[in-house]
Amino acid sequence: MIELINDKLIEVDDMGNMTVYEDESLTTLIDNMKLVIDDIVIDEKLIEPVEDIYYYLIEKIYTMPDYPKWNDVPFRDKPKAKLLIALNKFIHDKTNRRTE
Give the pLDDT confidence score for residue 50 in this predicted structure: 92
Interstrand relation of 18-20 and 2-5 (parallel, antiparallel or unpaired): unpaired
Q: Is residue 91 part of a domain?
A: yes
Range of the domain at 53: 22-95
Tell me the pLDDT tens digit for each residue of 10-39.
Answer: 888 888 888 888 888 888 888 888 888 888
pLDDT at residue 100 above 70? no
Cross-strand partners of 8: 5
pLDDT at residue 99 above 60? no
What are the helix and strand counts (H, E) for the chain? 3, 3
pLDDT > 90 in the chain, percent: 24
Q: Is residue 14 part of a domain?
A: no
Provide the domain count of the chain: 1
pTM (two decimals): 0.80
Q: Is residue 42 part of a domain?
A: yes
Give the pLDDT confidence score for residue 72 in this predicted structure: 72
